[in-house]
Structure 1
Amino acid sequence: MGSIRRWLLAGLLVLVPLAITLAVLNWIVGTLDQTLLILPEAWHPDKLLGFHIPGFGVLLTLGIVLLMGAIASNFLGNKLLRWGNTLLSRIPIVRSIYSSVKQVSDTLFSENGNAFRKALLVQWPREGVWTIGFLTGLPGGDVVNHLPGDYLSVYVPTTPNPTGGYFVMLKKTDCIELKMSVDEALTYVISMGVVVPARPAAAPVPPLTPTLNPPL
């Protein structure tokens, strides 16, 4: 019975991560395949080839993203995007949703921004309890008038689902920047501390007592 139990646990350790990974990939591919709906029905690969090609929507989505990036990177495309942004900003209801989403996306994906590019060690939800958070920027608006000193805007994710969490503003002196990538920190959070990132090389520790100079 002991051997059967060990074999069962070993099999689960192999199959469960593989099954979850395949399920997530299948969901992503299936979701992106919905991009084919923007094509005329006569242009669908299923109609042209007579059989379904899984993942074709992924290639189509990637092509659309690259095309939009190429358009937005030149002078004419930039002017068109500005015109489109101005038009959307004048439509009631739409402008409030679009402007909010655009500000978040610009902050997250901007090459010059610091959002989610630094992992922090913070005390949450009370002093003496530590967890991992991610730097999202600096407080703004009227908030800065009520926070004396230097503060940071921090997102504290929940475990094991990091898409939910808390937005908090903490003193800069109470936040410790970690020497780990955002991916490593997210993996640490999602795994509930089971997958531990590699420890960075420690700096040489100075001697506890100063070295005495030899007598002259």
Structure 2
Amino acid sequence: MLKQSLKNLLATWLAGLLVVLPLALTLALLAWLVNLLAKLLGPATLLGQLFAVLGEPLTNNALLAYWLGTLLLIAAVYCLGFAVQRGLKAPLNKLINAVLGRIPVISKLYGLAERFVALVDKQEGAADISAMSPVWCFFGGKGAAALALLPNPKPIVIDGRDYYAVLIPTAPIPVGGGLLYVPTDWVKPADMGIDAFTSIYLSMGINPPQLPAQTDRAKTTSVDS
């Protein structure tokens, strides 16, 4: 009798845990992201000190100067975006390229950053990341599976064999990753949109991919019930 009561108590507690666990994991992920931003942009960092310098003319308080400088920088970026929307993008790019293009190392870094921004900017047309197709890569043909992006459905021939170029992002920040060329018979389409693809990587796998077989099983269970 006591053993059965303990089992019931444990089952009830586990049921509550399963409800709370997704929320707890989500809050933990948000805390990790906030901590990462604090390490990159906090008052003690190099960028944070730059923000503080911008706010120092307005106050003698170091922390308040940091936040005022941050707000001033945000406002400046907004004004720059407003100018770009009014047709000043081409002249500004021309001016920046003319200045930075004369500095060998910096010009290379700026060119790389500019190409990356063009990749994720939907207004750049062919380089739109949303136009890429999510795919499954089965290494070895039947081995480990990786969720990747197919930027170009046209294969290339390497040593007499057809290969696809695929991008495999990193989690939970999917803007990085690796570019691999894999045999075409290792690549299968993934039945999902780019939003679902991004959600899986941002959640570090907590949000599982909804495979067609899983979806059909869920529908069958719902109909039977």
TM-score by length of 1: 0.62
Deviations 1:23-82 (A, max 9, x none): 4235436755636335140325x84xx985997777555433332222233444521321
Aligned length: 195
Matches of 1:104 and 1:60 in 2, distance apart?
A: 26
Where does residue 207 of structure 1 map in the other structure? none
Alpha-carbon offset, residue 88 of structure 1: 1.0
Amino acid at match of 1:96: K
Aligned identity (percent) is: 20
Aligned to 1:37: 52
Which secondary structure does the structure 1 equivalent of 2:136 belong to?
A: strand
Distance 2:170 2:36 in 1: 22
Please list, as runs of the form range in 1=range in 2, the aligned pairs for 1:3-152 lying within 5 A after superposition: 3=9, 7=13, 10=17, 13=21, 14-25=23-34, 27-28=36-37, 31-32=40-41, 34=48, 36-43=51-58, 47=61, 52=64, 60=72, 62-111=74-123, 112=125, 113-115=127-129, 117-129=131-143, 130-136=145-151, 152=164
Structure 1 unpaired stretches of 5+:
203-216
Name the CA distance, whole Å, in 1 between partners of 2:75 and 2:159.
45
Asked whether the 8 Å contact 1:119–1:135 carries over to 2, the reply is: yes
For structure 2, the 5+ residue unaligned runs are 1-5, 43-47, 217-225
* Alpha-carbon spacing, 1:75–1:184, altered in 2? closer, same or farther (3 Å): closer
Between the aligned partners of 1:57 and 1:119, the Cα distance in structure 2 is 41
TM-score, normalised on structure 2? 0.60
Q: Check conservation: 1:72, 1:81, Cα contact below 8 A.
A: no
Compared CA separation, residues 42 and 147, structure 1 to 2 (3 A): farther
Letter in 2 for 1:121: V
1:103 counterpart SS class: helix
Structure with the larger helix share: 2
RMSD: 4.4
SS at match of 2:180: strand
Greater CA drift, 151-160 or 193-202: 193-202
